[in-house]
Amino acid sequence: DHDNELATLVIGLGDVTILNIKGENTSEVRDVLQIAVHAFLRMKIVNHNLTLRQSCVFLHQNVPAVNAKEKMEHGHRKLQEDLDEMTKEAAYQEKMVNIKSFN
């Protein structure tokens, strides 16, 4: 709970959240992604009347291949699917049935 509260505070303070993913494998940061998704949903609940322009940027570092763009396409799709699934689960827990995807 403390991690979730801290993440909500940090995400709420900034206009842009940068999530640093080392390498091609996003499964290692799944817990962090879940916490971030919950934080973004909480900010949406609190700020539903405000027009905040918060965004989230994923930074992939240490991807060694010359053809990294092609290699990462599958990873990007998988990351989007995982984020959408996490968002659905978090939205259900927060009783926000109209939220279906991470965007």
> How far is it, in rounded angstroms, from Cα 95 to Cα 76?
28
What integer pLDDT is reported at residue 84 of this predicted model? 92
Question: Is the dihedral angle over the CA atoms 90, 87, 54, 29 positive or is it negative?
Answer: positive
Query: What pLDDT digit, counting tens, does each position of 6-25 carry?
Result: 887 777 777 888 887 776 56
Residue 56 forms beta bridges with which residues?
17
**Which residue ranges in the chain fall short of pLDDT 70?**
23-28, 48-53, 63
Q: Quick one: 90 exposed, middle or buried, by C-beta within 10 A (0-12, 13-18, 19+)?
A: buried
State both tokens at 87: 């968002």
Q: What's the predicted TM-score (pTM) here?
A: 0.71
Structure tokens at 50: 């405000």
73 residue type, one letter: E
| Residue pair 14/54 in contact by the 8 Å Cβ criterion | yes
Q: How far is the C-alpha of 30 from the C-alpha of 96, rounded, in Å?
A: 22
